[in-house]
Chains A and B, each alone.
Chain A
Amino acid sequence: EDQVTQSPEALRLQEGESSSLNCSYTVSGLRGLFWYRQDPGKGPEFLFTLYSAGEEKEKERLKATLTKKESFLHITAPKPEDSATYLCAVQANSGYALNFGKGTSLLVTP
């Protein structure tokens, strides 16, 4: 059975303090791994898609990387507006459903 585990569950950072969020997964044939950001009361907002081990993608202060067993979301010099829940999801070759982790709740304080 496909599984996605995110850690830590919650993370508090000072503004400018870089860190990484982890997403460990097991899937029978990875079609893609997705990162989303979700603000309270809103739907998830797409950030990145990674398809194969070794792939990296960047957007502003965020960088996502992928290995055969996990993905990292690196946040460089975060700002308070980066506070949100970050969700990781995998899509298997067998279907179109996204299998989500429980998310990491990030709080960045000034």
Chain B
Amino acid sequence: KAGVTQTPRYLIKTRGQQVTLSCSPISGHRSVSWYQQTPGQGLQFLFEYFSETQRNKGNFPGRFSGRQFSNSRSEMNVSTLELGDSALYLCASSFGGRRTDTQYFGPGTRLTVL
């Protein structure tokens, strides 16, 4: 069974640009969550989508946005990039049902903002 895939794996951008990251969940999973990982803050929750609807949102500015498509694939967008946005962006998928189910992570996209 294929795992969570993320593209691209590495990205270099300059301040003020925008970026779009993509995530394909495990087949059958309908929930996709996004996390930002930095050395100082660790893993922080950005948002979660289920059946194309955002169900949860973390404490990040509006420059961070996302969406989910009917095939459960998800994208996240960061506009007006800042140096502090340099991080590993991780996507996780799960079935998304009411009972706690496991979130499986992809390999991440390493974003560097210059």
A residues bordering B, Cβ < 8 Å? 31-32, 34, 36, 42-46, 49, 51, 87, 89, 91, 95-103
CB of B25 within 8 A of chain A? Answer: no
Q: State whether A43 touches B108 (Cβ < 8 A).
A: yes
User: Nearest B residue to A48 by beta-carbon distance?
Assistant: B102
Q: State whether B45 touches A98 (Cβ < 8 A).
A: yes
Q: State whether B42 touches A101 (Cβ < 8 A).
A: yes
A36, A43, A103: the one within 8 Å of B106 (CB): A43
Question: Would you give the 0/1 interface string for B21-57, flagging 1 where the beta carbon is closer than 8 Å to chain A?
Answer: 0000000000101010000001111001010000110
Report the bound CA distance from A96 to B92 in whole Å. 12
User: Nearest A residue to B3 by beta-carbon distance?
Assistant: A43
Q: Which residues from B are CB-within-8-Å of A100? A: 35, 42-44
A32 to chain B, nearest CB (A): 4
B4, B48, B90: the one within 8 Å of A96 (CB): B48
- 17 extra A-B contacts, CB within 8 A, seeds A43-B4, A96-B56, A97-B45: A31-B100, A36-B105, A42-B107, A42-B108, A43-B90, A46-B104, A91-B100, A95-B48, A96-B33, A96-B48, A96-B50, A97-B58, A98-B33, A98-B35, A98-B103, A100-B44, A103-B42
Chosen A-B contacts, 26 in total, with CB atoms closer than 8 Å, are A31-B100, A32-B100, A34-B102, A34-B103, A36-B105, A42-B107, A42-B108, A44-B43, A44-B105, A45-B105, A46-B102, A46-B103, A46-B104, A49-B100, A49-B102, A87-B43, A91-B100, A95-B56, A96-B56, A96-B96, A97-B33, A98-B103, A100-B43, A100-B44, A101-B42, A103-B42
Q: State whether B56 touches A97 (Cβ < 8 A).
A: yes
Q: Which residues from A are CB-within-8-Å of B44? A: 100
Report the bound CA distance from A31 to B100 in whole Å. 6
Which 9 residue pairs across A and B have the least CB separation, nearest first? Answer: A43-B105, A32-B100, A97-B45, A100-B43, A102-B42, A44-B105, A95-B56, A31-B100, A43-B107
User: Nearest B residue to A6 by beta-carbon distance?
Assistant: B42
User: Nearest A residue to B50 by beta-carbon distance?
Assistant: A96
A5 to chain B, nearest CB (A): 11
Report the bound CA distance from A49 to B108 in whole Å. 22
